[in-house]
Amino acid sequence: MTETDGQVARVIRYGDNVDTDVIIPARYLNTTDKRELARHCMEDLDPHFVSRVRLGDVIVAGRNFGCGSSREHAPLVIKESGIALVVATSFARIFYRNAINIGLPIVECPKAAQDASDGDEMRFDLAAGMLENLSTGTRYSVEPFPPFVQDIIAAGGLARLAQRGGLD
Amino acid sequence: MGMTRTQKLLARAAGLAEVKPGQLVLARLDRVLGNDITAPVAINEFRAMGASEVFDPNKVSLVMDHFAPNKDIKAATQCQLCRNFATEMGIAGFYDGGEMGVEHALLPEKGLVTAGDVIIGADSHTCTYGALGAFATGVGSTDMAVGMAKGKAWFKVPEAIRVVLTGRLGPMVSGKDLILTLIGMIGVDGALYQSLEFCGEGAESLSVSDRLCVCNMAIEAGAKNGIFPVDDLARAFLAEAGAAPPREVVPDPDATYARTIELDLGAIAPTVAFPHLPENTRNFDEIAALGPVTIDQVVIGSCTNGRLEDLQVAAEVLRGRTVAKGVRALVIPATQKIYLDAMEQGLLRVFIEAGALVSTPTCGPCLGGHMGILAPGERAVATTNRNFVGRMGHPESEVYLASPATAAASAVTGRITNPLDLERL
């Protein structure tokens, strides 16, 4: 459970192939300060994202979300912006593992991604495998992560799991 | 059940007799890599973990190449953080200043990767080393931090797409045209979560430089890794670089593949990826139908195409010709050794006399970092690997991905030009 599980979340909708260069342009990567980086989240795709995002919002996107550069700054700025969950038809693999490793909740659910529109309201309970679009009245079941990935999430990220000897 | 080349490498590194696609394994790492953008995040995470030493100081490489030579105070501070960490941890493989180079050109050149290795790098183009028979894949900074501390990483065992290559590439056609053609066929997520395993007599006909270019862009099809068979050419490259002895594997005859793609190298033509995805590929018949695409900048370099062979082809095109008025042509040798070799072969003179500028090694313009940023509305033909919105500068600028030959030909005419047509113009 995350602190926003079960709360009503608002959908911010994007399309296919949202790459990590538009999520956080490389020109800002001369710092590791998450707050400073988050001021530029989604800047080259949606310059209004930073002013319209609210704590607990959900990003819903199409295929291959997070493609391109391996920069972990991408899931970090999304998380720092207050996004509670990213739902997509599919994720690029490095973004996928980075999100798991840093504890940004993500869900691959093609049907939910396809049905959602900007501004829809959603509710989710990932532990129960449930995602619901309140605006369309549709419920979706979500595949649980494999046990090892659940261990990473439960530990609060890969580094915490490793710190506790989870990889020894 | 038979295993693919990648599955065999992962099984060995995980200490398992067999692995299956979809299985999660914990693998021992032969090398962990980071650069001046990704390593600082990893170092902070490493310290937050309470780690006090790296698993093996000889198996960690830190390459300052993205915003280096330091482009501003913040970039300098990031490199300083990496340098101090390398000193504290006894990491000899810290590359900056006169020792630096673009990471994925530098590591093979220094003999730091070999066939059979399992390598993670906090840079998506780490998949380059599959050209030499390694399993190499890009990861994020947390994986790098944990990799440095524990010498291990978790992987989901991928399925593979088998790419059977036949024939030989024609003149002025390169590995870049091959990989762009493949990405155009299967799309930017065509190999998502999968390996691209190249084989066939055509694979052996490719130079090591071309193989490195092809594997470099496996990620642009979404692949976890690209990998080539290890042949005499690869063995000779590894021996000359002073790499550790190869630990080769061959795929089982009964290995299963998600699909097989056959490509005749003789049928590959010069190819350009139009904005804003590497899959938006066009051949020159299609480009001719669009009318002239005028350009403002040409970049020849990067981890994709900044090797000596790339500069030789570019020089062949530019020799005795001049860069079109109004076009800024940047040539960036990927490492100091390549720079020196290009100098000794007289290539730098060719570039400078043609009106191009030659830069010290850096990733610089490829990621819109520094050294060649585009203004609103400007267009560049680049031998780099990505043409996403804003990749090389302003979000309203455009990047067209091409081979060194096409980039050089385009520099001469000031519009996107087939290198095979240049003689006739």
Q: Please name the helix (run of DSSP H) or strand (run of DSSP E) that holds residue B403, with its range, or none.
A: none
Residue percentage of chain A with pLDDT more than 90: 85
Residue A2 falls in which region: left (phi positive, over 0), alpha (psi -120 to 50) or beta = beta
A93 lies within 8 A of chain B by CB? yes
Concatenated DSSP letters for B132-181? GT-EEEE--HHHHHHHHHHSEEEEEPPPEEEEEEES---TT--HHHHHHH
- Angle of CA points B68, B74, B75, to nearest 5°: 15
Distance from C-alpha of A121 to C-alpha of A134, rounded to nearest angstrom: 5
- Rg of chain B over all Cα atoms, to the nearest angstrom: 21
In terms of DSSP bridges, do strands B152-156 and B24-28 run parallel, antiparallel, or are they unpaired?
antiparallel
Concatenated DSSP letters for B224-250? SEEE----HHHHHHHHHHTPPPP----
Which amino acid belongs to residue A129?
A: G
Residue A44 falls in which region: left (phi positive, over 0), alpha (psi -120 to 50) or beta = alpha
Query: Which residues in chain A touch residue B139, judged by CB atoms under 8 angstroms apart?
Result: 70, 94, 97-98
A89 lies within 8 A of chain B by CB? no
Interface ipTM: 0.95
Residue percentage of chain B with pLDDT more than 90: 99
A101 lies within 8 A of chain B by CB? yes
Query: Which residues in chain B touch residue A76, judged by CB atoms under 8 angstroms apart?
Result: 41
CB B414 within 8 A of CB B327: yes
pTM over 0.90: yes
Distance from C-alpha of B6 to C-alpha of B320, rounded to nearest angstrom: 46
Partner-chain residue, chosen from A21, A97, A167, that has the shortest CB–CB distance to B388:
A21
- Angle of CA points A100, A106, A110, to nearest 5°: 135
Q: Where are the domains of chain A?
A: 9-163
On the question of a cis peptide bond just before residue B276, with omega within 30 degrees of 0, the verdict is: yes
Print the SS3 string covering A17-47.
CCEHHHHCCHHHCCCCCHHHHHCCCCCCCCC
B368 to A30: CB separation less than 8 angstroms, yes or no: no
- Sorted by where each starts, the structural domains of chain B and their CATH numbers stand as 5-265 (3.30.499.10), 271-420 (3.30.499.10)
pLDDT, residue A1, reads 40
Alpha-carbon gap: A109 to the closest alpha carbon of chain B (Å) = 16
pLDDT, residue B1, reads 82
Distance from C-alpha of B73 to C-alpha of B128, rounded to nearest angstrom: 31
Point out which residues pair with A58 in neighbouring strands.
A11, A85
pLDDT, residue A51, reads 97
Output the six-digit token pair for A92. Answer: 């690029």
A69 to B141: CB separation less than 8 angstroms, yes or no: no
Low-confidence ranges of chain B (pLDDT < 50): none
Dihedral over Cα of A73, A76, A82, A83: its sign: positive
On the question of pLDDT at A7 being above 90, the answer is no
Could you tell me which residues come within 8 angstroms of residue B15 by beta carbon, excluding any fewer than 6 positions away? B28
pLDDT, residue B425, reads 66
Distance from C-alpha of B276 to C-alpha of B243, rounded to nearest angstrom: 38
On the question of pLDDT at A5 being above 80, the answer is no
Query: Which residues in chain B touch residue A73, judged by CB atoms under 8 angstroms apart?
Result: 41
CB A125 within 8 A of CB A6: yes
pLDDT tens track for B365-386: 999 999 999 999 999 999 999 9
pLDDT, residue A6, reads 66
Total H helices, total E strands in chain B? 15, 18
Q: Which residue of B has its CA nearest to A165?
A: B150
**Which of B105, B139, B67 minimizes the C-alpha distance to B367?**
B67
Phi, psi dihedrals of residue A126, rounded to the nearest 5°: -65, -35
Distance from C-alpha of B267 to C-alpha of B79, rounded to nearest angstrom: 45
Query: Which residues in chain B touch residue A167, judged by CB atoms under 8 angstroms apart?
Result: 26, 146, 150, 152, 154
Query: Which residues in chain A touch residue B395, judged by CB atoms under 8 angstroms apart?
Result: 44
Alpha-carbon gap: A139 to the closest alpha carbon of chain B (Å) = 27
Give the residue from A20, A21, A37, A102 with the most B CB atoms within 10 Å of its CB, the best one to mutate.
A21
pLDDT tens track for B120-157: 999 999 999 999 999 999 999 999 999 999 999 999 99
CB B138 within 8 A of CB B222: no
Point out which residues pair with B379 in neighbouring strands.
B398
Query: Which residues in chain A touch residue B303, judged by CB atoms under 8 angstroms apart?
Result: none
Point out which residues pair with B282 in neighbouring strands.
B272
pLDDT tens track for A29-41: 999 999 999 999 9
Give the residue from B20, B148, B154 with the most A CB atoms within 10 Å of its CB, the best one to mutate.
B154
Distance from C-alpha of A63 to C-alpha of B125, rounded to nearest angstrom: 21
On the question of pLDDT at A3 being above 60, the answer is no
Fold of A9-163: Aconitase; domain 4 (3.20.19)
pLDDT tens track for A114-165: 999 999 999 999 888 999 999 999 999 998 888 888 899 889 899 999 999 9
Which amino acid belongs to residue B226?
A: G
- For the residues A52-76, what does the mean pLDDT come to? 97
A110 lies within 8 A of chain B by CB? no
pLDDT tens track for B234-244: 999 999 999 99
**Which of B135, B219, B306, B389 minimizes the C-alpha distance to A19?**
B389
Print the SS3 string covering B299-349.
EEEHHHHCCHHHHHHHHHHHCCCCCCCCCEEEEECCEHHHHHHHHHCCHHH
Instruction: Residue window 138-167, chain A: list those with CB within 8 Å of chain B.
Output: 146, 148-149, 157-160, 162-163, 167
Q: Please name the helix (run of DSSP H) or strand (run of DSSP E) that holds residue A75, with its range, or none.
A: helix A73-80
